[in-house]
Chain A
Amino acid sequence: MNNSALSIAQTRAGDVCVVTLSGRIDSTNANDVVNELTRLFASGEKTILVDLGAVLYLTSAAFRALLVATDEAERRAARFALCSLAGHVRDLFEMGGLIEVFSIHGSREEALKQLGRPVPRAI
């Protein structure tokens, strides 16, 4: 297996399901990301954090996959966030004007601190 192929790993930190993506994300594997995130939401996950710190590069297909996951989270009243954007990956988010579209945290620790708090209930 090529060391830059996509790998998807999951861990849990309290109520937060952390999905770590590594390698490259493009049209050949973007559907794997969508399917995995959709499956997690369907299984009842209410807070998903995607760590992009080990992603080498991504293309428009990866952005679409993450936007589909955002829609899915909204539909299921769940929380969906990204963290650890660095270097070229962060540049691409900025170039595409997509920084504002997602909930993005600087590091996993920072994200868990924010997401670990209970969701404010609507009155």
Chain B
Amino acid sequence: MTRPPELTYAVDEHPPPAILIVSALQHVAVMAVTLIFPIILAREANLSGTQLLDLISLSMLALGVATICFCMRAHFIGSGYLCPAAYTAIYLGPSLFALRQGGLALVFGMTVAGGLVQVAVAPVLRRLRALLPSEIAGLVIAVVGLALAGLGVRYSLGIDEQHRIKPDYVIVAGISLATMIVLNIWSKGYGRMFCVLIGMLVGYGASAALGIFDLANVIPKDNLDLVRVPRLDHVGWLFDPVLLVPFAVASLAATLRVMGDVANAQRLNDAEWVRPNFASLAGGVSANGVAVIFCGLVGSCGLNSYSSCIGLSGATGVTSRSIGYAIGTIFAVLAFVPPAAAVLGAMPLPVMGAALFFTAAFVFTSGLQMITARMLDARKSIVIGFSFAMAVVADVYQDALTEVPIALQPILGNSLVLGTVCAVLLNLILRIGIRQRVSIKLPAGGINREAVEQFLTEQGARWAARRDVIQRAIFGVVQVLEVVGDPPGGAEVEASFDEFNLDIRIRYAGVPLTIPERKPTPREIVANEEGERLLAGYLLRQSADRISARESAGAAEMILHYDH
């Protein structure tokens, strides 16, 4: 991992306490915006003032626990990167659907089921990678960016049910957004680092001056304790197998988003990032599953990693994992302070809108970067282009899509879910025939190694294969041919490739090479040619991701496998 020079604090570095706390508070402010999703759920469920505050408090507790889970670097749970959590529109659609079918108990029960799906998916994530390539994760991030921007615009303009714009909302959002942009582009140090938090505070001030910020709306009529343990009065659990489909799809979309977010966090911290580290991705997905189960148990809706915070960490250059633990602690403490829930619950919509719109720009462009990190052939262009269009269609023709059968509504009614399902299915279908196979025959009478090198280099370029993998493959073939010498009848080299695997088969008359487990000593290597052969076998074992050999009727086949 190469530390990018533009980072102020990289993932393993520890900022001083003041910067740690203010950075964490900035993320807390950005994350708190997403409490709008459990608040929407609570309002749809007609929860009372105290129960509304309890739900917000418990949702904050879950945000804290989830953020710590995401940032941890344990064996099975945690991505190891600064990867804050947030409530998401992904689970909102299925949750509102479940609310209509069976009340809050069904929402919470199915949320637990959704979390279990993610926990089950995490260990097999690597095997599923062919179905969930990084460009699809990038698509998910880009669609989330668009959805966040759309929501941000709606809140910023104060668009109501009659599609009217509120001028005072526009003023507040404009002031708040302009503050964030100016600080981010033209300031350095603390100004850039805390641009979103400062912009939101300025927005609160402007809202208070224009009479938009009104705490009285969320404070219960009886009283508001300073410290209070939130109650679980609104919590119960029910399950319905029919609802497993939309919640499983939401889990898949959430899984893709975590993969995209964690990969993005990895990329931010590594100047030479080429492909995601799957152990870290799987840790992020299992953390998401555990956190969603926790949400269901304490009576909140499902959550996800937060692309905005990853975008924020990239924009500010502060990606230290310590920030994640501080965020978790702050939310856990705030969960027991009802006034905090009241202030967050009363966050003015145009301030939410400005923060969402600002961070959406970084989320969207991160998604585009992930999509275009690899060369897009016709297959990928169709998968990405069609799915992106379908995601947009879900928003544009929302009214028409409500006419579809009820079981399909959670899929067709949500841009992210529809785009994700479309991308995964298209990717699955268009993978048919993706594996390509070529071979070259090398006549006897002195093996032409330059021909092998040219053959693999040209094929690698045609397949858009990674240069380092092709280089290892060239070494492998040349090393095998060198030890084999000049077999009667020559040799045949066959290469087969898909975007995740490169397999090389070398066939010749003779016996397979010895592939030792043990490294030969320098003394053994110098002593005779057998020592050199042992070194050759050992180098082959080390340079290939897998190596095997076969022998049949005097013909040998060496099989070298390289992960791509």
Contact = CB atoms under 8 A, between A and B. Distances in A.
A67 B522 contact: yes
Interface string B517-556: 0010010011000011101101100110000000000000
A4 B483 CA distance: 20
Interface stretch (B269-277, B297-305, B396-404, B467-475): B467-475
A92 B532 contact: no
Contacts of A101: 522
A64 B538 CA distance: 13
Given A92-B539, A92-B543, A60 B526 contact: no
Given A60-B539, A92-B539, A26 B522 contact: no
Given A60-B479, A92-B475, A4 B450 contact: yes
Contacts of B539: 59-60, 92, 95-96
Contacts of B478: 26, 57, 59
B449 interface: yes
Contacts of B475: 57, 59, 88, 92
Interface string B448-479: 01100100000000000000100110110011
A27 B526 CA distance: 14
Contact of A96 (B449, B474, B538): B538
A97 interface: yes
A95 B525 contact: no
Contact of B535 (A4, A28, A64, A91): A64
Contact of A64 (B474, B483, B531): B531
Nearest to B480: A59
A67 B532 CA distance: 11
B482 interface: yes
Interface size grouping (class) on chain A = 20 to 34
A71 B543 contact: no
A64 B453 CA distance: 22
Nearest to B528: A64
Majority secondary structure, B binding face: helix
Given A59-B482, A70-B522, A97-B519, 15 more contacts: A2-B450, A57-B474, A59-B478, A59-B536, A59-B539, A60-B482, A60-B533, A63-B525, A67-B525, A71-B526, A91-B472, A95-B542, A96-B535, A96-B538, A96-B539
**What is the interface residue range for chain B against chain A?**
20 to 34
Contacts of B533: 60
A98 B479 CA distance: 17
Contacts of B543: 91-92, 95
Nearest to B538: A96
A92 to B, nearest CB: 7
Nearest to B474: A57
Interface string A66-90: 0110110000000000000000100
10 contacts: A4-B453, A59-B475, A59-B479, A60-B532, A63-B525, A67-B526, A88-B475, A92-B543, A96-B539, A101-B522
Contact of B542 (A26, A61, A70, A96): A96
Contacts of A70: 522
B522 to A, nearest CB: 5
B91 to A, nearest CB: 45
| Nearest 8 pairs of A and B residues by beta carbon | A95-B542, A60-B536, A60-B535, A64-B532, A27-B482, A67-B526, A97-B519, A88-B471
Contacts of A2: 450
A2 B535 CA distance: 27
Contacts of A91: 472, 543
Interface in A13-36: 26-28
Contact of B532 (A4, A61, A88, A97): A61
Interface string B436-454: 0000000000000110010
A96 B522 CA distance: 11
A68 B472 contact: no
B451 to A, nearest CB: 11
Which interface residue of A60, A95, A101 has the most chain B CB atoms within 10 A? A60
Contacts of A68: 526
A61 B543 CA distance: 16
Contacts of A97: 519
Contacts of B535: 60, 63-64, 96
Contacts of B483: 60
